[in-house]
Amino acid sequence: MKDQRKRYAAGYALEFALFCIISLLISLILIIPSLNFELPLPTDTDMGKVTIVIDAGHGGEDGGCEGNGLVEKNLNLDISMRLASLLREAGVNVVMTRETDILLYDKNSDYEGKKKVQDVRRRLEIATEQENAVLVSIHMNYFAETKYSGLQVWYSKNDSKSRILANLIQTEVKTTLQPNNKRSIKEATSGIFLLNNATFPAVLVECGFLSNTDEARALGDAEYRQALAKSIFEAIMKYISQNNT
């Protein structure tokens, strides 16, 4: 009798062990497919998500400021084109408000006295038409007192990311090109139409003072303009990688 009971007990134990093993196997079969062992796949690249709208300030009949033999509109376009090339080479979507020496008013309209108003509205429209636009407007500065110099970035208050981008550009230029630049970024007033009306991240870069002899000399040099474009480019790339929403 004792032996028989032992055999029964052993049988139950074996059955229970088998039950446990089978249950475990079933659980694993059910659970494994729901576990994601794969590395996260690169979906859209960060670069594909935003469109950098580069706005070369002024153009055509509107030269912008002038100083030390330089006309703002030409420098704006040159730096904008260099920046666009760097971004495109890195795979970033770029749209430019102008690529030639023109003012963007409607030639078929009654534009007399309205050229500049039509121009800024068209620039805003171009940026607004883009999906996930980030506007970078390129300008030069001028002041009656010639001692002032240094790049300064203005940002739109309408999107908090504008301030982040402005800071990145200001810091990058200080670090790489202008160690003595003490300027800080500034929130745009209603006087800057583009930044005041942008509903997306938007900054305006005053690249330097044409009224300052040393800075104008630097801005007149293609190598310096390339270095400036490179710094702004690096800052934008940092912005894209940090704000890939």
Contacting positions for Zn ion (CB under 5 A) = 57, 64, 139
Nearer to Zn ion, 57 or 208 (CB): 57
- Shortest distance in whole angstroms from residue 159 CB to Zn ion: 22
Cα-Cα-Cα-Cα dihedral sign, residues 209, 214, 217, 223:
negative
Residue with tokens 């607004």: 128
- The amino acid present at 168, given as its one-letter code, is L
Nearer to Zn ion, 77 or 87 (CB): 77
Nearer to Zn ion, 86 or 205 (CB): 205
Crossing angle of helices 222-242/72-89, nearest 10°?
50
- Shortest distance in whole angstroms from residue 44 CB to Zn ion: 34
- The amino acid present at 245, given as its one-letter code, is T
In angstroms and rounded to an integer, the radius of gyration of the C-alpha atoms of the chain is 30
What span, in angstroms and rounded, lies between the C-alpha atoms of 135 and 96? 10
Nearer to Zn ion, 74 or 181 (CB): 74
- Shortest distance in whole angstroms from residue 57 CB to Zn ion: 4
CA angle (105, 110, 111) in 5-degree steps: 35
- Shortest distance in whole angstroms from residue 233 CB to Zn ion: 20
CB-closest chain residue to Zn ion: 139
Q: How distant is the alpha carbon of residue 237 from its chain centre?
A: 7
Residue with tokens 């991240």: 201
Helix (H/G/I), strand (E/B), else coil: 206: strand
What span, in angstroms and rounded, lies between the C-alpha atoms of 171 and 231? 9
- Shortest distance in whole angstroms from residue 139 CB to Zn ion: 4
What span, in angstroms and rounded, lies between the C-alpha atoms of 212 and 70? 11
Nearer to Zn ion, 87 or 207 (CB): 207
- Shortest distance in whole angstroms from residue 70 CB to Zn ion: 12
Nearer to Zn ion, 57 or 67 (CB): 57
Nearer to Zn ion, 57 or 59 (CB): 57
Rama region for 91: left / alpha / beta (φ>0; ψ in -120 to 50; rest) = left
- Shortest distance in whole angstroms from residue 154 CB to Zn ion: 11
